[in-house]
Structure formats: structure tokens, C-alpha cells
Structure 1
Amino acid sequence: MLGSDKPAPRDRILQSAERLFAEKGLHGTGLREIARDAGVNVNLIAHHFGSKEGLYVAVTGGFSNAFSDQFDALLAEVERQYSPSPPPVAEIVRCFYEPAFQALARDKEGWHHLTLSYFREIGSTVWQGLNTGMAKHVQRFATALHRAVPTASRDDLIVVLQLACLSPVLLASDVDRSLRGEKAGWAKDVAELEGQLIRIISEAALACASVI
């Protein structure tokens, strides 16, 4: 019907899949269940996404692609600002976290679904595929941190950044409380949580310089 605000079938599939993957995981959710929830024929999912794994990648890939562009732009800008010296460690770490917190600010519930879906699939083939792109950014940021802390082991800095990648678990926990109208556990608001994580990871990176 002309003028209808009802989302297109493809968008309804993505919305239903996002929520159901968060609730039940990739392997706990069936295509027919997604189709029923979205109000579409199950064959339409195959038409748009090829398979359940393809649908999962489409759900999580929107965030991943946005992150990728922002990582490069943010780090390049802060390096330009401080050139020829390396940026402070905290500024590098802020650039590493900023895409996640911008996504959280835009769509709190979507971010919550993304993190739950992502961590439900740790170790799976799909999860490893999603992490391929992130590994490139970890290497790029490790290089930037090594310039700022040249006495630190680059391998140790990579481990610190890998730990930073796991911090969305904390975000998922706090966002879940917020969505239920409860007080967040780690911080009183998202800005405070971002500041805490930047401080913790920055201190960990600086501590690498003193590790023998």
C-alpha cells in the first residue's frame, strides 16, 4: 500500500534475525522461525542472503563495515594532529573504542543484540571470518601504540588490544540493565564507561613497557 511505513521484507528479515540470533545464537535459531517472525516466506531469506550463515554475516556485518571505515579515519586524524610525534596512548585507545561507542549511541538495542550474537558464536567458523577484518585493525593500532611506547613488546600490545576487543561484554551487560530500566553495573552512564575502559586499556599498554 502506498504510504505504508511497514519495513521492506529484507529489512524485516534483518530485524527479526538480529533479535533471534541475540536470544538463541546462530545454531539455536531456525530459518523458518526467522521467516515466521518477519512475516515472509522462508525462500525469501535464501533469495536475499543465500543461507543462515549469510544472514548472520549480514546482520553483524553492517556494524563491522562501519567500524572498519571509522578505525582508519580516526587513527589517521589523531596521528596527523600529533605528527611528527606519536599520539598519546590514551588518544590511540580512544580511537580504538570510538566506533563502538558511536554505534552504541546510535542504536542501543541494536548494539546489545550485536554483542550477544557475536559472543554466542566465539570460536565458530562464522565468528573467525568476522574477526579477519578486525585482526588487520589490531595490527594497525599495535603499530601506533608501539610508536608511543617503543620499549614495549609489540606482541604484548597486540594482546592488550585483543583484550580491548572483548570489552563489549561489559557493554552488553550494562546495556541490558539499561534496557530493563535498571542501574548499570560498571558505570552510571555510557560516557563514564567509555572513560573507564580507555583508562584501563591505556594503563595496560603503558605497563607493557615495564614487562621484562
Structure 2
Amino acid sequence: MNTASSTRDRILGAAEQLFAQRGFDGASLRQLTTAAGVNLAAVNYHFGSKEKLVEEVFRRRLDALNADRLAALARLGSDHPATLEEVLAAYIRPALELSHEGNGALFMRVLARAFAEHDDTLRQFLSENYGHVMRQFTAEFARLLPHLGKPELYWRIDLVTGALTHAMSGFGMIQRKGGVSEQAHREQTVQHLIRFAAAGLSHP
């Protein structure tokens, strides 16, 4: 890894940590430069502004997540029409894998901050860059659930996404038991969430 990319990654890692702890407004550039061990010129060189830095913190995680989701969706239906459970797995499993990898859980707290702080600029960024992924999944859900009108479908998808975000945060009542591996616990979570979401989405 060259020095420039190392500095950039160090800034992103420090920013993710600070944003999770203090929120976007609460984390100052002075705190960020201290945590990353860089000067302000380095932040400006790599990102240009705090707003762009926030966007890159999300892009670093969400580009890979949504590429994995779309790849999983594309693999479905090659030999048979995709089922509701299969589409849900393509949506849910990559997200839960992200939340358990590296500092994935930390990023979940950053994501929660984005929703809690009602940052319209950030929401617009997320919509413009990742809205197409949600539209593809929504189209699949609409095909599989023709009995639902658009408003009802959107309500149900929104609630499923909320349940997924909760599961990704790791703050729920169901914690990994001793003797159960991280991978096994994650798969249990995936399967429970798929069954729960399928039941909610397909209900008359």
C-alpha cells in the first residue's frame, strides 16, 4: 500500500470512529486530524471538504455491499424463477456479512446516525448513488407480490429494511451464545430474518 492510500484509509478509519461516537456535526476536523495523525491539508487534499469525507465513509462500505447484493440478485433465476426467500437472501445476507466483518459494526452506528440526524444532503447522496439498487429489489418484490399495491409494498419493504438495520446493529435481545461460532450465529440471523420478512411481505 502506498503512502497516499495509507493516509487516505487512516483518515477514513478515524472519521468512521468519530462519526459513530459523536455524530457528523459533533466530530470536528481538529478531532479527526488528531485521531488520524494527519494535518488539515491532508484531509483537504484527499477529500476537499468534510461533506465529501462523510460521503466517502459511506461509499467505502456501501459500494461493496450493493455490488454484492446486485451480484446475488443477478445469479437468481438462471434455472428457475426466483422465489421471495431467495430475493430476500440476496438483500439480507450481504448486509449481515458486512456488519460482522472488520469494523462493520462500527459502520452500522454511523449509518444509524445518518437516519437519526435527518441529514438531507446525506440522504440525497445515498438516494442518488444507491437508490437504483433498492429499485431493482423493489421491482422483484412487486413481481413476486402482485396482490400488494405500491403504497402497501413500500410500507412493508421499509419495515423489512428497519428490521435488517436492527439485526445489523447487534443491539437486539438475541446475542451469540457460547459455543456458537460467529458464522453460525450470523446464518441463524439470516434465516430467521428471511422467514420473518417473507411472512410480513406476503401477508394478504
Shared fold (TM-score greater than 0.5)?
yes
Say if 2:84 and 2:141, in contact at 8 Å, map to a contact too.
yes
The count of residues paired between Structure 1 and Structure 2 equals 191
Give the secondary-structure state (helix, strand or coil) at the position aligned to 2:26. coil
Quick one: which of 134, 139, 151 aligns to 1:138? 134
Q: For structure 1, list consecutive stretches of 5 or more residues without a partner in the other structure.
A: 175-183
CA distance in 2, matches of 1:133, 1:105: 23
* Residues 1:41 and 2:34 aligned together: no
Between the aligned residues of both structures, percent identity stands at 24
Higher relative contact order (CA 8 A, sep 6+): 2
Give the secondary-structure state (helix, strand or coil) at the position aligned to 1:79. coil
CA distance in 2, matches of 1:101, 1:31: 31
* Residues 1:70 and 2:68 aligned together: yes
Quick one: which of 169, 172, 184 aligns to 1:172? 169
Residues 1:142 and 1:8: Cα distance change in structure 2 (over 3 Å): closer
CA deviation string 1:125-154 (max 9, x = no partner): 213311333332222112212222222224
Say if 1:12 and 1:38, in contact at 8 Å, map to a contact too.
yes
Give the aligned partner of residue 192 of structure 1: 188
Quick one: which of 69, 82, 87 aligns to 1:87? 82
Give the aligned partner of residue 92 of structure 2: 97
Give the aligned partner of residue 106 of structure 1: 101
Say if 1:139 and 1:158, in contact at 8 Å, map to a contact too.
no
* Residues 1:149 and 2:142 aligned together: no
Give the secondary-structure state (helix, strand or coil) at the position aligned to 1:27. helix
CA distance in 2, matches of 1:172, 1:68: 18
Question: Which stretch of structure 1 is more off in the superposition, 48-57 or 134-143?
Answer: 134-143
CA distance in 2, matches of 1:22, 1:46: 21
Say if 2:114 and 2:122, in contact at 8 Å, map to a contact too.
yes
Give the aligned partner of residue 178 of structure 1: none
TM-score computed with the length of structure 2 as normaliser = 0.83
Give the secondary-structure state (helix, strand or coil) at the position aligned to 2:76. helix
CA deviation string 1:83-104 (max 9, x = no partner): xxx3111111111112212323
Give the aligned partner of residue 179 of structure 1: none
| RMSD, matched Cα | 2.3
The letter for the 2-side match of 1:69 is: A
CA distance in 2, matches of 1:146, 1:204: 14
Give the aligned partner of residue 30 of structure 2: 32
Give the aligned partner of residue 159 of structure 1: 155
Give the secondary-structure state (helix, strand or coil) at the position aligned to 2:124. helix
Say if 2:95 and 2:168, in contact at 8 Å, map to a contact too.
no
Residues 1:59 and 1:47: Cα distance change in structure 2 (over 3 Å): same
Give the aligned partner of residue 203 of structure 1: 199
Question: Which stretch of structure 1 is more off in the superposition, 131-140 or 91-100?
Answer: 131-140
Displacement after TM superposition at 1:29 (Å): 0.1
Q: For structure 2, list consecutive stretches of 5 or more residues without a partner in the other structure.
A: 177-184
CA distance in 2, matches of 1:70, 1:190: 17
Give the secondary-structure state (helix, strand or coil) at the position aligned to 1:81. coil
CA distance in 2, matches of 1:200, 1:65: 27
